[in-house]
Amino acid sequence: MEAAGAGAAAPGGAAGLLLRLRDKLLTWQILKTVALGQMLSLFICGTAVTSQYLAEQYEVNTPMLQSFTNYCLLLLVYTTMLALRTDNESFLQILKRRWWKYILLGLADVEANYMIVKAYQYTTLTSVQLLDCFGIPVLMALSWFILRARYRLIHFIAVAVCLLGVGTMVGADILAGRQEGEDSRRDVEVTGCSSTCTSCPAKRSNVVIGDVLVLLGASLYAISNVSEEYIVKNLSRVEFLGMVGLFGTIISALQLAIVEYRDIARIQWNWKIALLFMAFALCMFGLYSFMPVVIKVTSATSVNLGILTADLYSLFFGLFLFCYKFSGLYILSFIVIMVGFVLYCSTSTWTAETVSTSLPQPASTGLDNLGLKLEEDDQEPPAASVQVTQEENGVVNSS
């Protein structure tokens, strides 16, 4: 009888564990975070598809011009909103106090976009996909030192699972033959000619240059994302987008006049090309507009893990638009990435207590994933939290 009772209790214990896992991983806040992350991935997918369509169908190779249109939209919308402020944090006051910081931030954002695109000229799609993930550990390190974020073991495991999913995706690209075809398309996008053209310098002859460009671009993205998280949590989303729009427009305009004026002059404008440029600009504008919203309720690291699926969405569109070959490993890689993303979001990070620092910490909570705070209140509290005082709030207003 005792043995039978023990045998009957075992399924109950397993069922209880599954119920606890379900309650932990399938909460409304986590599902909302996953949905927001995939919305950002779809915006990125839109920019990739429109860029590739411009390159393949119309031989338009102007990534800096495309970025310039996005910065112009940010300038028209958010810089205008910032200029209409009349409080202590007005447009002129912000420029007076932090102009040089936003110049550096705008430069990092513009050059990160340019370096990643430029890297395709020298290295392979596989290298770009793998080395671009270098930005995630850089982002975590910067968050550790600058934002005082502290991670638990589950976060490192989740990041490893997400990177495993990226590796699966790269393997699927190689097995499906996408590697060779995509490299040829990138030659058209970056240089304006095919990989068999003999009049151009040898393409990707120096792989080291391409790999270094990817690493630098990923690092600059990490710097931009950490700055974005700090600004939207301590200052305002409108200030971040308005300043990036202002200085991003100026920097990208100067750079496209230097490096892309010949490519722009060769464009045979028609309504289809104009429509593709508009679609790219709207997708990029949507990405820049909504990313601060998602970062504010989660963190820059979780957002970057969530958008690892953007390449897979681009692939699914490519099955119909660019005749990509399908592989079941793409579905597996998507599942693995999503599992890692959910694992990361399932447990909140915490912010280390600071005794003295010139950087004000987020005034709302010591947790990165704000939506999880209520759920964790009934569980064990974080090991440390930020104590916000009147003096710290004074630092925020005067920085």
Whether 256 is covered by a domain: the verdict is: yes
Distance CA(124)–CA(210), nearest Å, equals 8
* pLDDT at residue 12, as a whole number: 57
Each residue's pLDDT tens digit, 40-63: 999 999 988 898 888 888 888 888
- Phi first, then psi, for residue 260 (nearest 5°) are -125, 10
Residue 162 lies in a domain: yes
The CA distance from 291 to 71, in Å, is 15
| Residue 278 included in any domain | yes
Domain containing residue 243: 21-185+205-346
Quick check: is 145 in a domain? yes
Using a cut of 0.85, tell me whether the model's pTM lies above it. no
| Six token digits for residue 11 | 């399924």
- Concatenating the DSSP letter of every residue in 16-79 gives HHHHHHHHHHS-HHHHHHHHHHHHHHHHHHHHHHHHHHHHHHH----HHHHHHHHHHHHIIIII
The predicted structure's pLDDT at residue 336? 92
CA distance linking residue 314 with residue 332, whole number of Å: 16
Phi-psi region of 200 (alpha: psi -120 to 50; beta: other; left: phi over 0): beta
- Residue 379 resides in a domain: no
Is the pLDDT at 355 greater than 50? The verdict is no
Mean predicted confidence (pLDDT) in 209-217:
88
Q: Provide, rounded to the nearest whole percent, the portion of the chain with pLDDT above 70.
A: 73
Instruction: Supply the angle between the helices 2-25 and 328-346 in degrees, to the nearest 10.
Output: 90
Q: Tell me the per-residue pLDDT of 153-208, one tens digit each, with 9 for 90 and over.
A: 999 999 999 999 998 888 887 776 665 545 554 454 444 454 444 444 444 456 78
Split into its structural domains, the chain has a count of 1
Answer yes or no: is 3 within a domain. Answer: no
Cα 244 to Cα 110: distance, rounded to the nearest angstrom? 9
> Is the pLDDT confidence value at 145 over 60?
yes
Give tens-digit pLDDT for 292-318. 999 998 889 989 999 988 888 888 888
Question: Does the residue 200 lie in any domain?
Answer: no
Q: Between the CA of residue 352 and those of 90, 362, 372, 386, what are the distances in Å?
A: 31, 11, 18, 7
- CA 38 vs. chain centroid, Å, equals 11
Q: What is the pLDDT of residue 170?
A: 85
What sign does the dihedral 19-24-30-34 (CA atoms) show?
negative
pLDDT band of 28, cuts 50, 70, 90: confident
Q: Which 8-state DSSP code applies to residue 227?
A: H
Average the pLDDT over 252-270 and give the result.
92
The more confident residue out of 143 and 365 is 143
In this structure, is residue 62 part of a structural domain?
yes
Look at 83-87, 204-208, 222-226, 373-377 and tell me which has the smallest mean pLDDT: 373-377
